Amino acid sequence: MSTSGAPSPWVAAVSPDAPPAEEPTLVRVEDALLTGFESGPLNASKGPRRWIRGAVHDRDGALVPSSQRHWAGDVWSPVAADPERVKVPSRGRRLEGTWLYVGHWPQHFGHFVLETLTNLWPDPEQIQVDGLLGHRRFRGEAHGHRRPAQDVELVPWKLDLLELAGYAGRRHVQVNTAPAHVETLLVPQQPVVLKSWATPAAVALWERVAGRTQPGTDARVFLSRRRWHEAREGRSSRVRTSPEWEDHVEQAFRDQGFRIVHPETLPVVEQIGLVSGADVVAGFSGSALHLSAFAGPETRVVEIGDLRSATAPMATQQMVDAARGHRVAFCEHADRAALRRVLEAL
């Protein structure tokens, strides 16, 4: 602990926006219609630059509002533009049985953990579903002919997360650009708006997942992005720091007794266990640090800024840590003095 008299870098995380007071709803829709995914540009000088469509409608074509995906409204996020009513087409794949709507099937780890996975907040012991159904990922263009809904094979880490959430052994179907029909569809209201807020329902889901893993024994864990960066060096804008700064940061945390972990080299079950068992979790801004969603309220979190957000914490990380009740410290990018102050205050 620092004895310099300087103010502590540790503060209670504050959510960018307050979550709604109401609990999210679960709507049952018989003879549901899922409209095909569409997207396009918006001619706007501020705010979202793209619109998307693809939601749930009832048998009469009326929109189920809780099926629309919502984001924080910044330039990087799309805006939902689903009509309140559509003509119900006769074409499109039909799924029999009861299905749970998961929103979208993203490829990205962070979006899956924070948005798709949290839509599994309904207690799996209280509902019976034959499969999980979602629209295709919301990024990327939707060109060409109408592509029908398809069964999808999820990568192992996604399957592991679904199993930890209590939804193993279900079918997984993706709605593409053609409509689809479902005998019975359960539509959970989303409990997270990225960069904005997360509700207690999301926290309960993260706790359910973490509770089914074996907590790690390392009190201090640093989530490294080094190998992820090395694999993309010179060909990706997502490399947002220098090797020299990474070297310095990792050595500084290693000297303080932190285990340096490369999350992408470990099964996701082990990643979650390491975080849930730690007293302090640290790492650079980004998806790896979002694993703090699985850490209890007593865990402290250190975020190291990168070139994307060099002087302030990422809104998404603030959202996660505020929902979990964490105390947090932020270190500005390439600021050795700030890093030293944080480490002295451990």
Averaged pLDDT, 119-145:
89
108 in a structural domain: yes
Residue 101 lies in a domain: yes
Indicate if the pLDDT at residue 122 is higher than 90: yes
CATH number at residue 300: 3.40.50
Residues 237 and 276 in one domain: yes
Show contacts of 110-113: CB within 8 Å, 24+ apart.
Answer: 110/286, 110/287, 110/290, 110/316, 111/194, 112/158, 112/161, 113/161, 113/287, 113/290, 113/291, 113/293
Look at residue 203 and tell me if it is in a domain.
Answer: no
- Give yes or no: residues 186 and 265 share one domain: no
Is 136 in the same domain as 264?
A: no
Q: What is the mean pLDDT of residues 164-170?
A: 98
| pLDDT mean over 16-23 | 96
Tell me which residue range forms the domain holding 283: 11-16+211-344
Instruction: Establish if 246 belongs to a structural domain.
Output: yes
Is residue 268 situated within a structural domain?
yes
* Structural domain contains residue 67: yes
Work out how many domains the chain is built from and give that number. 2
Whole-structure pTM value:
0.93
Among 132, 159, 190, where does a domain finish?
190
Q: Residue 190: pLDDT above 60?
A: yes
| Residues sharing a CB contact under 8 Å with residue 84, sequence separation 6 or more, in sequence order | 62, 63
- Same domain as 220, residue 173: no
Domain assignment of residue 225, yes or no: yes
Angle value at C-alpha 315, between 296 and 106, nearest 5 degrees: 80
Do 51 and 161 reside in the same domain of the chain? yes
Is 200 part of any domain? no
Per-residue confidence (pLDDT) for residue 105, from 0 to 100: 97
**CA–CA separation, 23 and 131 (whole Å):** 24
